[in-house]
Structure 1
Amino acid sequence: MASFSLFLVILAIIAHAVYTLFSLVNNIRKARAIGLPYTLSPIHELERWAYVADPILRWYCRGYLLQGNGWPRWARFMIKDWHYEDKGRAHREYGPLFIVVSPSGMVCYVADSHAALHIGTKRRLFVKPPDKMSNYKMLEPFGPNIGSTEGDLWKIHSRIASPSFDEYTQKLVWTETQRHASTLMSMWSSNRGFEFEKGVYTLTMDVMGCVSFGQQADQNNDEKTRLPEGHSLSLLGALRGVIMHLPHILLVPKALLRYTWKGVYTAYVELDQYMDELLFQGMKDLSNGLDGARSKENLLKAMLRSSKENEEKGPRAVGAKVSLTNEEIKGNLFIFLLAGYDTTANTIIYACVILALYPDTQSKVLDEVGEFYKGEDAGDSPNKSSSEYLAMFPYLLAFMHEILRVFPVIIPIARQTISGQELTTRSEISGSESFTLPGGMDVIINNTAIHFSESYWPSPDILDPRRWLVRDSQAFDPSKPPTEEQEADIQKCVFSTQSNAKGTFMSFGEGPRACLGRNFAKVEFVAFFSRLLQNHRLEAGGDVNPRETERNLRLLSGGSPVTLIPPHSVDIRLVPRGS
């Protein structure tokens, strides 16, 4: 009996090996038919096994990464979101478009701006991967949302959610961010051991709490004293726990998760309870007519109102969906929290460190902030629109976009072809080339490779906000003296994203699926630094080695499953300007 069982095990292993080999050979044949360069990997980053390989290989390869050569070739494609540490090396080796082939399938990587723009704008031809473990399905622990849906369903989400991001919301973001930045400023400047990263996360969470749900908080309060009745975690703590452990939540059955990763399960249950409570209160206020005018609404109530109005108008076609379910509204609440809290906070954290390490850049930001506050009641005028506020900070906006170019907080942009699709690459050397990808093929826009391409950004390793102040960013090389025309543009200091060709800056995406909250993020970033640096400046702590710190930031990421985060905390101090 034992011998027979052993025979079955050996037979199963042989059968699996034969099937794996057959699948690999078949996928190689398909890749060759496409005509693009290809390379082989035991697994690719969109497979479930990548969630197992990722933490192991990140730990094992850390020393190799610190040598400055990116990932070792044998490990590169088995790691989730390997693109940031790679900095375009794979594309310099294989080309602007290439294919990774594994036994389970193929992935096409794109670092050509023309092809990336085509993928971003043709949303019905290149859809988000439907697989449960894709990066977009990672955004659905509580329900479908505007960040994860496709086709007509996405249009419904967009129609209901988009009106919420209006001028009132932008002004509320400005006011709340400045209010919380003032509190953070007093705590930070008086405490040399202050963990500023934690303060920034709390600030963005509190801003989102107010803007999204009408909940105001005071950072001076200890997190435990701010716990609502019936909760063991704060909203911030629950959200953090969910974001950092999304693979566990999606892969492990909840009954098993409860006993194997108790802290993760608690965070999931707590956040779900928070959103149920917020949704119930919002619906109650709306039905009782307590929401009042739009000027008093938060994002949740605005979305509930929009959904109700769409339902009252009726479907455009018989049987068509016109409103969102409670699950879908919760899904959007989560995506709003994630985008407004996590991505903006990490952008601000990277910016704080870089300002402390780049005194000349910080000096220009301080000058601009100083000019802003020379005007009477500049920081508190209720009559200014958000666009008027932003227009006063062209250099700070240029700095923000340069931070997002060098540290693209949202790393992967994944799509899947619904049928055979033609992609065209354009090069000054080789001209145009076209390739047809088969239906059902995964495609990833490598925005880090695009941001670090010499073709689009001369001397891409140099962080220089002036790129965003000239008329043609592709002609501006920060390693060389600017031309007379470029110098004139820089002196005028007019920020514009029109200076860079479409498809060359992908941090907010391109086309109809571009980031809905990009203006939200700009307002929050500018409001934060305009208040924080009004009478202070940032400096690195005495034990911080500037060169080593920046090197580590550029060579390593923190390994978050959703966004790019710094690999470690940095001692950054807030000191009076004159000190």
Structure 2
Amino acid sequence: MPSASHILISAVVTWLAKSLISRVLSIRLALRHLHAPFAGFHLLNPFYVPAILLGSWFPRLGAPALGAWTSKFAPYAEHRSTAVAGIVVHNACPMVWFADAESIKYITTETSIFTKDPVPYDIVNFYGKNIISAEGADWRRHRRITRPAFNESGNAFVWKETLRISHEWFSDLKMRAESSTVQDSFVINAGEDLSQASMLVIASAGFGHRSSWKDDGTVAPGHALTFRQALFLASAYGSVKVLTPSWLYTLSEHVYVPLAGRLIRDTQTAFEALRVHMLELVGMARAWVIEGKIDAGDAALLRNLVEANMDVSEGDVHKAGDNALTESELLSNSFIFLFAGHETTAHTLTFAVGLLALYPQVQQKIYRETLALWPDGIPTLASTSSYRESFSQLPYTLAIFYETLRLFPAVIRIARLVRADTTVPAYRFNLSPSGVAEKVQNIVVPVSAGSQVMYDIRALHHNPMYWGADADEFKPERFLDTESYRWPRDAFIPFSAGPRICIGQKFAVTEGVCLLATLVRTFELTVPEPLRQAPFEQQKESILAWRAGQTMEPTSAYVQLTRR
């Protein structure tokens, strides 16, 4: 008579065998629903948190595998198609990837067929639903409330505040130069400085929190951290917040949790400290709204959020109307705009500064452009520099910002669920030995309800059909229109596309152009002295190093500044 252990082992083996057979059959069925060249299996859904957080190691960096952060256009070139397919193993879900402008335009505009997968967006609901995580009517409500803040008067205020912060930053840099062993020349960590600059801009222009570059570190009564400390720590601990279940936070408050306990408590402290600061800002904004003290452009985003929350109780938002927010939604939107508004712009600027140090001939062009605009140096706080007049005079600076976004988009891919059977336009092509796309043919790719599509932003940005055989190279001129050339607008989507395009894109571009222009007008950027003797490719690898995370995060952008 078999023992209990034998029975248990037999039951487990039987279950595993049935599960394996069921999975194999599901994958075979999924393969029959694919109508694009098969490029491989995904052990993890590439748009879900585990795959994003493991992006630096899996798939292996440097591999051309579909889904690898570094693959760029390689999987599409290998299969000679702008549509390739994969299977997500854990649920046998078919996934079709697209890397051409026409297919992505179709996917992003047909919102009844291609809808947001809510699962990966739950991670950003730190305080409640927000404009990124909401869908359908709720998303339209969030967008109606926040969109009016992003207008030309707001852009003018962003320009003004960026100029102020640039002056404060450069004053601090001057002090560093005076203490440097080489007169007027010193090395900075561009990522750290630009993260601070970008945070100060969004906090001031968007939320009315106007602080100076120098933070004395004094914590105000009733707060555990300064506003700056809370925001930086919340950003740094974002991945911990995402991966930690709520019950573990509660447990760590009462008992010792080995290894992770301290990190969990620090994360909780950062997010709670930021929540208290945001509540304080909201309280002040309510008073401003009641007293009519907020000028046009000044803290416009926070004003709109607060006005939508006036006299609205939690859970009663739908009774209050189509332009209302609960307090949890107000706080969640505030955090998302603070976090995304400073981190993504800071990362783009960090890459741009590294590129300018690596390519002095490009930097010289931006310097000549800023010299023509500001022959006596960047405008002082006492003078005026009109956003409308100045921004239009910096087309090459804008081209550099765009080219950086093309090469280093903050979000490299976006997934959508397929709700109904449909066909998506795409292309077949050949690549010549020199990398030129030839024999391009229009095709249509059937996709089935229940599958997923992925529009591959980074691959689109490296597609030679739009950007030429030198698509992997840094070339800002590709964003300058001429009489015989117009750069491909539909093939450039660093802020996504369609109805859900980022509403803060002009805010980011205004801030980015102003910071780059003022920095290059004031300082010459070069590769740090110890790295200058290394081959150029090694210099690029060092200065433009990055890791995969919630965005493409620069890791070691050290550049040398010399005052002009």
Q: Which amino acid aligns with 1:464?
A: K
Q: Which amino acid aligns with 1:243?
A: S
The SS at the match of 2:547 is: coil
CA distance in 1, matches of 2:161, 2:13: 60
Query: Does structure 2 retain, via aligned residues, the 8 Å contact 1:161–1:306?
Result: no
CA distance in 2, matches of 1:72, 1:380: 50
Residue in 1 aligned with 2:537? 547
CA distance in 2, matches of 1:88, 1:425: 14
Q: Which amino acid aligns with 1:212?
A: G
Deviation at 1:539, TM superposition (A): 1.4
Residue in 1 aligned with 2:374? 373
Matched, 1:203 2:197: yes
1:462–1:376: structure 2 CA closer, same or farther, 3 Å change rule?
Answer: closer
Residue in 2 aligned with 1:480? none
Which consecutive unaligned segments of at least 5 residues does structure 1 have? 472-484, 490-498
Matched, 1:390 2:379: no
Matched, 1:573 2:560: yes
1:278–1:86: structure 2 CA closer, same or farther, 3 Å change rule?
Answer: same
Q: For each residue in 1:59-87, what CA deviation from the matched residue of structure 2 results, as whole angstroms up to 9, or x when unmatched?
A: xx5xxx4xxxx2274xx64xxxx33x112
Q: How does 1:26-425 map to 2 (within 5 A)?
A: 26-38=26-38, 39-47=40-48, 50=51, 53-54=54-55, 57=58, 61=60, 65=61, 70-71=62-63, 73=65, 77=67, 82-83=68-69, 85-94=70-79, 95-101=81-87, 102-104=89-91, 105-131=93-119, 134=120, 136-191=121-176, 192-222=186-216, 224-225=217-218, 227-257=219-249, 258=252, 259=257, 260=260, 261-286=264-289, 288-294=290-296, 296-305=298-307, 321-374=322-375, 386-425=387-426
Q: For each residue in 1:239-271, what CA deviation from the matched residue of structure 2 results, as whole angstroms up to 9, or x when unmatched?
A: 333334434323422341444322222222222
Matched, 1:530 2:517: yes
Deviation at 1:450, TM superposition (A): 1.0
Deviation at 1:575, TM superposition (A): 0.9
1:360–1:272: structure 2 CA closer, same or farther, 3 Å change rule?
Answer: same
Deviation at 1:449, TM superposition (A): 0.8
Query: Does structure 1 retain, via aligned residues, the 8 Å contact 2:378–2:518?
Result: no
Residue in 1 aligned with 2:436? none
Deviation at 1:3, TM superposition (A): 5.7
Residue in 1 aligned with 2:181? none
Further displaced range: 293-302 or 522-531: 293-302
Q: Could you tell me the TM-score, scaled by structure 1's length?
A: 0.82
Q: For each residue in 1:519-545, what CA deviation from the matched residue of structure 2 results, as whole angstroms up to 9, or x when unmatched?
A: 111110121122223332111211124
CA distance in 1, matches of 2:14, 2:122: 34
1:557 to 546, 552, 561: 546
1:467 to 478, 485, 499: 478
Q: For each residue in 1:32-70, what CA deviation from the matched residue of structure 2 results, as whole angstroms up to 9, or x when unmatched?
A: 223222222333324565367546548xx5xxx4xxxx2
Deviation at 1:178, TM superposition (A): 1.1
Deviation at 1:456, TM superposition (A): 1.1
CA distance in 2, matches of 1:573, 1:209: 28
1:360–1:330: structure 2 CA closer, same or farther, 3 Å change rule?
Answer: same
CA distance in 2, matches of 1:270, 1:147: 22
Query: Does structure 2 retain, via aligned residues, the 8 Å contact 1:420–1:437?
Result: yes
Matched, 1:433 2:440: no
CA distance in 2, matches of 1:462, 1:179: 34
2:461 to 446, 451, 454: 451
CA distance in 2, matches of 1:185, 1:380: 13
Query: Does structure 2 retain, via aligned residues, the 8 Å contact 1:373–1:379?
Result: no
Query: Does structure 1 retain, via aligned residues, the 8 Å contact 2:51–2:58?
Result: no
Deviation at 1:413, TM superposition (A): 1.8
CA distance in 1, matches of 2:319, 2:326: 18
Query: Does structure 1 retain, via aligned residues, the 8 Å contact 2:546–2:553?
Result: yes
Further displaced range: 147-156 or 228-237: 228-237
CA distance in 1, matches of 2:200, 2:357: 25
Deviation at 1:374, TM superposition (A): 3.0
Deviation at 1:285, TM superposition (A): 3.5
CA distance in 1, matches of 2:490, 2:27: 29
Q: For each residue in 1:329-356, what CA deviation from the matched residue of structure 2 results, as whole angstroms up to 9, or x when unmatched?
A: 1121122112220011111111111111
The SS at the match of 1:443 is: strand
1:239–1:294: structure 2 CA closer, same or farther, 3 Å change rule?
Answer: same
Q: Which amino acid aligns with 2:35?
A: G
The SS at the match of 2:33 is: helix
Q: For each residue in 1:249-300, what CA deviation from the matched residue of structure 2 results, as whole angstroms up to 9, or x when unmatched?
A: 23422341444322222222222222233223323443x3253543554420
1:265–1:310: structure 2 CA closer, same or farther, 3 Å change rule?
Answer: closer
Deviation at 1:383, TM superposition (A): 7.5
Q: Could you tell me the TM-score, scaled by structure 2's length?
A: 0.84
1:330–1:318: structure 2 CA closer, same or farther, 3 Å change rule?
Answer: closer
Which consecutive unaligned segments of at least 5 residues does structure 2 have? 177-185, 430-438
Deviation at 1:17, TM superposition (A): 4.9
Deviation at 1:307, TM superposition (A): 5.8
Q: What's the C-alpha RMSD, in Å, of the aligned pairs?
A: 3.2
